[in-house]
Structure 1
């Protein structure tokens, strides 16, 4: 019974941590394309999708601002 309770707690923690993982750069590129298309065509994307993409772009900008090296390990400054 105790093992089942521990397994449920571990499973809940794993499921809770899944959305917190970092997205790869291809998602950023796709979001930038969606936002650009939406600026040209008002019916290009749903508002929820645009909001999510704008938030993701902001997060990437903040993440890149904190980075001291680029993706290849070369210093940015």
Structure 2
């Protein structure tokens, strides 16, 4: 009983932590391209895909606003 509970807790924590990982910049670039295509032509992507991509773009914008160094570690200011 105790082992089963520990396994369930570990599985729940893993399920919560997996979506929290950061996306890489290639995902951001793909999402920007998808949103641009969707603005030009109707019906190219589903609403769920567009909503996910817009969320990724927002998260990257917030992340970049908090960053004080570039990808090479050099100060931005």
Same fold, judged at TM 0.5 (above): yes
Q: Give the CA deviation at 1:10.
A: 1.2
Inter-partner Cα distance in structure 1 for 2:60 and 2:71:
13
RMSD of aligned Cα (Å): 1.0
Could you tell me the TM-score, scaled by structure 1's length? 0.91
Inter-partner Cα distance in structure 2 for 1:51 and 1:11:
28
Name stretches of at least 5 consecutive residues in structure 2 with no aligned partner. none
Corresponding position of 1:47: 47
Q: Give the CA deviation at 1:55.
A: 1.1
Corresponding position of 1:73: 73
Q: Say how many residue pairs are matched.
A: 77
